[in-house]
Amino acid sequence: MNIIRKNVREYGMYIALIVIWLTFSITSNGLFMSAQNINNLFLQTGYIAVLAVGMTLVIIIRHIDLSVGYLSGFLGAVTALLLIETNIPVLIVLFIVVIIGIFVGLMNGSLIARIGIPSFVVTLAGMLIFRGGLLQVTLSQTLIPRSDFFALIGSGYIPSIRVISGMHLSTLLLGLVGILFFAVMEIKNRKNKIDYNFEVLPLKLFIMKILVISIAILYITFLLASHRGFSWTLLIVLAVVFIYHFIMNKTVLGRHIYAVGGNPEAAKLSGINVKFITTIVFGSMGLLSAISGILFTARLNSAGPNAGAGFELDAVAAAYIGGVSAAGGVGKVTGSIIGALVMASLTNGMNLIGIGVSFQYIIRGIVLIAAVIFDIRTRNMKLAK
C-alpha cells in the first residue's frame, strides 16, 4: 500500500478537517454546520486563503513574506480612499490597486533576488512601511466606501436565476458542474496512470474517494443553495485556487518554481533564471495581497487603521498546516487552502461554543505544531522505504 503511505499526509489533512467539523457540529448542537455559518466560514476564510496560496509559492522557493498583512490592509485602505475621494469607476479602482500590489511585490522580489537581501529582512521592512502607509491613508480613522457594487464583492451572492423549492438554481448548477469536472478529471488521471503502469489507488478505494468528496461538495452546495447561494468571495477564491493549481501542476513556470525550491543550484545550472522566478513569485504575492485586501475591505465595507494585522502569520500557518515544507520545493496550493480552512474552522467553531480568545490562540498554536509533527513523521516514513 505504498500509494496510501505516499499520500497519508494529504488524506490526514482532509480527515482532520472532517473531524474538526464533526466535533464542532456536535458541541454546537448543529449550529456549526448550519447554512448561515458555513457561508460565514467561507467568507472568513477567503482573504486568508488567497494569501495562503501566494505564501505557498513563496515558501516553496525557500523565502518568506512578512509584509503581506499590512500590505493587504494598506491596499484595502487605498481602495476605500479612492472610492470615497474620487469618481473613478469601481472596476478601474480595483485594477489600479491590483497593479500597485503587483508593483510592490516585484519590488520586494527584486531587492531579494538582485541585491540579495534576505527575504525576511526585506519584507520585515515592508511590514513597517505599509503599517505606516496604512495609518497615513486612513489618518487613523475608519474609511467607509459607499459603493454597493464594491460591498457586493465581500458580502454579495451570485444571482439565483430561479429559486426551486427554496434552492438557488445557479448555485446548484455550479456545484453539479464542479462535481462532474472533479470526477472526470480524476478518472482521466487514473486512466493515464494505469496506461503508464504507475501505481494507482485500488479501484474500491478510488471510488470511495470520489464518492466521499462528491458527497461533501454536494452537501455544501445544497446547504448554501438553500440559504443565499454561493458568495462572490467563494467564487473568487476558487478561481484563484484553480488558476494557481493549474500553474503549479501543468505549466513550465510551475515546474520552474518547484525546481528553484527543490535545489536552487541545480535549477540555475538547468538554465532556469532563479532571480526571475523569485521576482515573479513575490510579484504574485503582491497581486494576491491586493485581492486579499479588497476582499477584506469589501466584507467589512470599511478600512480601519489596523486592518491586515497578523494576516501574514495566518497565511504562513495555513501553508504549513497544508503541508508546505520549510526546506523548500514541496507544497501544494490545494493543501494550503485546506490549511486555511482548518484554521478558520477552529476560530469559527470555538467562537460558536464560547471558548475565550486566549484559549483559541493556544489551541491554534497546538494544532499548528501537531500538523507539522505529523508532516515530519510521514515525510521520514516516505524516505525510509
Partner 1 sequence: MANVLLEMKNIIKEFPGVIALNNVNIQVKQGEIHCLVGENGAGKSTLMKVLSGVYPYGSYSGEIIFNGEIMNFSNISDSENVGIAIIYQELALVPELSIYENIFLGHEIKSGFLKTVDWNETVIRAKAELLKVKLNINPDVKVKELGIGKQQLVEITKALSKNVKLLILDEPTAALNEGDSENLLNLLIELKNQGVTSIMISHKLKEVLAIADTITVLRDGQTICSLDCKGTNVTESMIIKNMVGREIADIYPKRKSVDIGEVNLEVKNWNAFDKTNRHVLKDINLNVRKGEIIGISGLMGSGRTEFALSIFGNSTDYKISGETFIEGNEVLLKTPYHAIKSGIAYVSEDRKGNGLILINDIIENISIANLKKISKYGVLNKSVEIINAEKFRNALKIKTPSIEQIVGNLSGGNQQKVSLSKWLFTNPNVLILDEPTRGIDVGAKFEIYTIMNELVKQGMSIIMISSELSEILGMSDRVYVMSEGKITGELAIKEANQEKIMELATIGGH
Q: Is position 354 an interface residue for partner 1 (rule: CB under 8 A)?
A: no
Residue 204 sits in the site that holds partner 1 (CB under 8 A): no
Is residue 86 classed exposed, middle or buried when 0-12, 13-18 and 19+ CB atoms within 10 A define those classes?
exposed
How far CA 288 is from CA of 4, 48, 111, 120, in Å, comes to 33, 10, 19, 19
Residue 265 interacts with partner 1 (CB under 8 A)?
A: yes
Cβ pair 231, 157 in contact under 8 A: yes
* Chain CA centroid to CA 141, Å: 29
Asked if 262 interacts with partner 1 (CB under 8 A), we say yes
State the helix-helix crossing angle for 274-300 and 232-250, rounded to 10 degrees.
Answer: 170
**1 lies in the site for partner 1, by CB under 8 A:** no
Q: How far is the CB of 75 from partner 1 (least distance, A)?
A: 28
Q: Is 114 one of the binding residues for partner 1 (CB under 8 A)?
A: no
**Shortest gap between Cβ of 184 and partner 1 (angstroms)?**
17
Return the amino acid letter for 116.
G
Q: Which stretch binds partner 1 (CB under 8 A): 14-22, 97-105, 252-260, 342-350?
A: 252-260
Interior/surface letters 133-155, b for 16+ CB within 10 angstroms, e for the rest = bbbebbeeeebebebeebbbbbe
Closest C-alpha among 39, 22, 46 to residue 318? 46
Least Cα distance to 279 among 96, 84, 103 occurs for 103
Cβ neighbours of 29 (radius 10 Å)? 10
Q: How far is the CB of 183 from partner 1 (least distance, A)?
A: 20
- Which range in 30-38, 234-242, 245-253, 308-316 contacts partner 1 by CB under 8 A? 245-253
User: Contact with partner 1 (CB under 8 A): which of 263, 361, 362, 366?
Assistant: 263
Is position 243 an interface residue for partner 1 (rule: CB under 8 A)?
no
Q: Does 141 bind partner 1 (CB under 8 A)?
A: no
How many angstroms separate the CA atoms of 139 and 306, rounded? 11
In this structure, the dihedral spanned by the alpha carbons of residues 265, 272, 316 and 318, taken in order and rounded to 10 degrees, is: -120
Query: Shortest distance, CB of residue 246 to partner 1, whole angstroms?
Result: 9
Applying CB under 8 A, the site for partner 1 has a residue count of: 30
Nearest by Cα to 303 from 110, 125, 85: 85
Cβ proximity to partner 1: between 88 and 187 the closer is 187
255 contacts partner 1 (rule: CB under 8 A): yes
State the nearest-atom distance from the C-beta of 337 to partner 1, in Å. 22
**Of 203 and 252, which has the nearer Cβ to partner 1?**
252
- x/- site string to partner 1, residues 170 to 199, per CB under 8 A? ----------------------x---xxxx
Question: Do the beta carbons of residue 35 and residue 342 sit within 8 Å?
Answer: no
Residue number with CB closer to partner 1 (194 or 357): 194
Q: Establish if 330 lies at the interface with partner 1 (CB under 8 A).
A: yes
Residue 15 interacts with partner 1 (CB under 8 A)?
no
- Counted residue by residue, the chain has a size of 385
Nine cell digits for residue 311: 494576516
CB-based contact 109:117 (threshold 8 Å): no
Residue 141 or residue 251: which is nearer to partner 1 going by CB? 251
Closest CA to 157 of 221, 222, 232, 51: 232
Residue placing its CB nearer to partner 1 in the complex, 193 or 364: 193
Q: Is 271 in the site for partner 1 (CB under 8 A)?
A: yes
Report the residue number, 2 or 358, with the smaller CB distance to partner 1: 2
Under the rule (CB under 8 A), what is the footprint of partner 1? 192, 196-199, 250-253, 255-256, 258-259, 262-263, 265-273, 329-330, 382-385
